[in-house]
Amino acid sequence: MCTLYHTEPSVKMGIHDTYVAYQFDQAVAALGTAIENKLNSPERYDEKRRAKYNLRDLLEAAQEYVDGKRKKKPMSNYDRVMAARFQVTGK
């Protein structure tokens, strides 16, 4: 929605502290990029060419991980490459 209206997520949320707004915008961008990368990854289809991932499943998995209900899975080769590119550890 923020892309559509050309505004930052922090503005839409009414965050006025500049540092907090910056951090929030970075977090939203990182989450959005991670989801887009997963949905567009070369591993996005199973052997029958059906989509492995959908937005709802990815968001639910992220929420379960944050809530501590889901253990982090081993990283795929694609995720390792992306993590190395952005210097993220996946241990």
User: What average pLDDT values come out for the chain (91 residues) when binned by 10 residues?
Assistant: 74 91 87 82 78 80 71 68 62 48
Query: What pLDDT sits at residue 27?
Result: 85
For the beta carbon of residue 75, count every other beta carbon within 10 angstroms: 15
Query: What pLDDT sits at residue 52?
Result: 78
Query: What pLDDT sits at residue 3?
Result: 66
Cα angle: 65, vertex 45, 87; to 5 degrees: 50
Sign of the Cα pseudo-torsion (13, 20, 66, 68, in order): negative
Query: What pLDDT sits at residue 16?
Result: 92
Query: What pLDDT sits at residue 15?
Result: 92
pTM: 0.56
- Where helices occur in 1-91 by DSSP H, the ranges are 2-5, 9-13, 18-39, 55-67, 77-85
